[in-house]
Amino acid sequence: MSSKRLLHPERQLAYESGPFDRLTHYLFRYPAKFHPPVVKTLISEYSQRGDRLLDPFCGSGSMLVEAAVAGRHAVGLDLDPVAAFVSRVKTHLFDVHQLSASINLLSDQLHPLRRPDQEYLDRSFRDITLEELESTIADEDLWIPAIPNLFHWFRKYVILDMARVHRVISDLQIPPSHKDFLLLCFASIIRASSNADPVPVSGLEVTSHMKRKEAEGRIINPYALLDRSIAKAVPGVTSFSIKADRQITVSVHQGTALQVSTHLRRAFDAIITSPPYHNAVDYYRRHQLEMFWLGFTRTQADRLALKQEYLGRQSVSRNDPILKQQRLLGTLVSDWDSRIRKESDQRANSFLHYCLSMKQVFLQFEPLLRNGSPAVIVIGNSKWNGTEIPTVEILMELARPQFEISSYFWYPVKNRYMSYTRRNGASIDKEHVLVMRHTHASRIGNGNPWS
């Protein structure tokens, strides 16, 4: 079957392109996230006030934030523990006056730990010794995350500063939601405090650009970075807490979309989500430092176990259980699998794993939706050996026979932190919106509900 026969007439998505309310969207730097005006438009077009929405790939929670402001109940799910944590904090309704008191308490307790400004200037060229680091850790009984190649990612004095900040936040006698807010602000400075380049979205690396900055004398002051992060975050949570509908419930959970229907009992009025792109952003690598500093992974073994659950990853074992599934995926998948496999079994396994996973996701979607309710999917095409893989058409094919495409839109990706290039050529400068519907009833859930 020709891929062109799968396509509905393509239209450009119309949405407000001017300034928009930032709310809590920018509390944490997250790659390839939903553009808020786009998701706001999709919520308005495909749901009504009081509806229940699901985002099973919620990322940093853009859909959940906009849903709460638009008066829709929402449930978010993401495999990545950093993503689930970020989404949970961004959708919490704070009493800003009480939160300010907790921030002031943190500031008071951090003040005596700060180094003089001159010392940070000096440390731009001369780090502390390993002996000084180890003795200070022992004297202060500090917790240091077991990050592989720790000194590759952080200067030694920065490790001490970060550990002290983490200790103070963890020990504060404040509401748990306030502690989570401060830990999110802490998480937002981890990459900026490290030697990793904060700009590339594909993963985690110390680039030549960062090495030049180090050679020129880069100043890293975690306390000042935290001050700026908190100052930036407070207006966002204030705006969200004022504008979100307080009659609306939003819940966020960490887990895989491959099993979402076994955990949710109630039906949804719409699914609005942006699944991972095949072989584009490696969130497993991207969030490595944050996962360790926040305690979501304690050992490398923890991380490797989690890695096997990510969709769209580049490296997939040939013994992966997903690859052993026998499913009818369609001619497009078969043709592209054969084409890629002629060059590389590893790349073909990665592609096939993605397709099998997304087929299972669509099967999970069906029992969660009310009759006629839409599943709105935002996705971008990827490339292999310089040739574009027709991901949109492939997803259309994978969604059948459970779903039919009712509408198909596209919009240009203009946001600098959404438009990105990988060394493998998987550039994404356009995103597509697939509106899918099914028309027959199914049993809803069979396990303990998340919401």
pLDDT band for position 130 (cuts 50, 70, 90): very high
Q: How far is the CA of 345 from the CAs of 31, 173, 216, in angstroms?
A: 28, 54, 44
Same domain for 186 and 216?
yes
* Residue 421, pLDDT above cutoff 50: no
pLDDT per residue as tens digits for the range 51-97:
999 999 999 999 999 999 999 999 999 999 999 999 999 999 999 99
* Residue 280, pLDDT above cutoff 70: no
Amino acid at 422: R
* Residue 325, pLDDT above cutoff 90: no
Would you say residue 89 lies in a domain? no
Q: How would you class 439 by CB atoms within 10 Å of its CB: exposed for 0-12, middle for 13-18, buried for 19 or more?
A: exposed
Give me the percent of the chain exceeding a pLDDT of 70.
Answer: 91
Mean pLDDT of the chain: 89
Which residue segment(s) compose the domain that 15 sits in?
Answer: 3-82+245-280+309-437
Q: How would you class 116 by CB atoms within 10 Å of its CB: exposed for 0-12, middle for 13-18, buried for 19 or more?
A: exposed
pLDDT per residue as tens digits for the range 217-253:
899 999 999 999 999 999 999 999 999 999 999 999 9
Same domain for 152 and 122?
yes
**Which residue, of 215, 240, 265, is where some domain finishes?**
240
Question: Helix, strand, coil proportions of the chain in percent (round to 5)?
Answer: 45, 10, 40
* Residue 386, pLDDT above cutoff 70: yes
* Residue 445, pLDDT above cutoff 80: no
Rounded to 5 degrees, φ, ψ at 272 are -130, 115
Strand pairing category for 382-384 and 387-389: antiparallel
pLDDT band for position 173 (cuts 50, 70, 90): very high
Q: How would you class 150 by CB atoms within 10 Å of its CB: exposed for 0-12, middle for 13-18, buried for 19 or more?
A: middle
- Which whole number is the average pLDDT over 256-281? 88
- The answer to whether residues 245 and 68 touch, using CB atoms and an 8 Å cutoff, is yes
Same domain for 160 and 108?
yes
Amino acid at 245: D
Cα(117)–Cα(103) distance, integer angstroms: 22
Q: Which two tokens stand for residue 418?
A: 């959404």
- Which whole number is the average pLDDT over 386-414? 90
Residue of 111 and 5 predicted with greater confidence: 111
**pLDDT value at position 422?**
43
Amino acid at 359: K
Would you say residue 297 lies in a domain? no
Lowest mean pLDDT among 30-34, 95-99, 144-148, 166-170: 30-34
pLDDT band for position 288 (cuts 50, 70, 90): very high
Interacting residues of 134 by C-beta distance below 8 A, sequence separation 6+: none
How many structural domains comprise the chain? 2
252 beta partners: 76
Would you say residue 293 lies in a domain? no
